[in-house]
Amino acid sequence: MISQIKEGHVRSEVHNGIATVEFFHPQSNALPSGILEELAKEIHSISHDDDAKVIVIRSSGDKAFCAGASFDELASIKTPEQGLAFFSGFAHLINEMRKCPKMIVGRVHGKCVGGGLGIAAAVDYCIAVDAAEIRLSELSLGIGPFVVGPPVERKIGLSAFSQIALDATLWRSADWAKRKGLYAEVHDSIEGLDEAVHRIASALSHSNPAAMAEMKKIFWKGTEHWDTLLFERAAISGKLVVSEFTQNAIAKFKKK
């Protein structure tokens, strides 16, 4: 299935029990609301597809895995209500990922920023290449990683999360991300990345779906309140994004 958006697409297919969900945006695989919505819909749909035993999330191309929120869309937000609606897209997607009864494997082939880091943290097993540096750039734009913060903190701990949230312009290496628990594996080539993704996805596709669903409940225990928490966080971002400080910061960034 291919969902065409104004710019970019979300594409999914199921083969031999492995559901692959791919997203693309011409601006370094950024995440406008249309792509966020379609990703959430695909995860929800596959959650109820008995032919799919495991999900692989990936992005297209050979450069950035994900540049995070769409700057064009951020710049167009004029009211807190519009801001809430936009950031709620991240909340919907993360909640669909955590409540999905199937294990989700992440394939991170390049740099991972902001909301993209939220996706990487919300998968159950994330594999990357050594060029897949990470950054939470939100504070440098006058907002903060409020919606993606819970899954990132859950994976790497409060101390490491606070470090990357506060030092919002510094890239952290894939090795750093692996040592902190975000990446399960880091490989030195795309070929190695793809072999590792296929290995774990194939193994999971032959595992007991009921057992994996019960394991996932254990892995995500204590996050049930995210159904409300992430939308409360989205409201914070929605208010901040329309501030003069943030709009000026976004405008400056877009001129670079």
Please identify which residue in the block is written with the tokens 């596959």.
46
Residues 6+ apart with CB under 8 A from 125: 103, 104, 105, 106, 184, 200
Q: Please report whether residue 219 resides in a domain.
A: no
Cα separation, 82 vs 78, in Å, equals 7
This prediction has a pTM of 0.95
Residue at 167 is within a domain: yes
The predicted pLDDT at position 254 comes to 74
Model confidence pLDDT, tens digit, residues 112-140: 999 999 999 999 999 999 999 999 999 99
CB atoms near residue 198 (< 10 Å)? 14
Number of domains in the chain: 1
Query: How many H helices and E strands in the chain?
Result: 11, 9
Query: What is the Cα–Cα distance from 76 to 74, expressed in whole angstroms?
Result: 5
- What integer pLDDT is reported at residue 3 of this predicted model? 54
Domain presence at residue 47: yes
pLDDT digits (tens, 9 = 90+) for 209-233: 999 999 999 999 999 999 999 999 9
Say if residues 19 and 104 touch (Cβ distance below 8 Å).
no
Q: What is the pLDDT of residues 87-117, one digit of tens each?
A: 999 999 999 999 999 999 999 999 999 999 9
- d(CA 116, CA 69) in angstroms, rounded, equals 8
| Pairing status of strand 134-135 against strand 112-113 | parallel
Has residue 221 been placed in a domain? no
Q: What's the pLDDT band for 235 if we cut at 50, 70, 90?
A: very high
Contact partners, residue 208, CB within 8 Å, separation at least 6: none
Task: Calculate the average pLDDT of the chain.
Answer: 96
Strand, coil or helix: 129: strand
In this model, does residue 2 exceed pLDDT 90?
A: no
Q: With a cut of 80, say whether residue 162 has pLDDT above it.
A: yes
> What would the two tokens of residue 168 be?
């919002």
Distance CA(255)–CA(93), nearest Å, equals 29
Closest CA to 45 of 81, 13, 7: 13
Quote the domain boundaries for residue 19.
2-209
Read off the CATH number of the domain in which 118 is found: 3.90.226.10
Res. 174: pLDDT tops 70: yes
* Integer Cα distance of 156 and 218 in angstroms: 18
The label of the residue with tokens 């939220």 reads 118
Structure tokens given for 80: 């807190």
| Res. 63 pLDDT band, cuts 50 70 90 | very high
Position 252 scores a pLDDT of 85
Helix (H, G, I), strand (E, B) or coil at 198: helix
**What is the Cα 171 distance to its own chain's centre?**
17
The terminus-to-terminus CA distance of the chain in angstroms comes to 36
Confidence of residue 4 (pLDDT cuts 50, 70, 90): low
Residue 256 belongs to a domain: no
Domain-embedded: residue 226: no
In a domain, 234, yes or no: no
Does residue 230 form part of some domain?
no
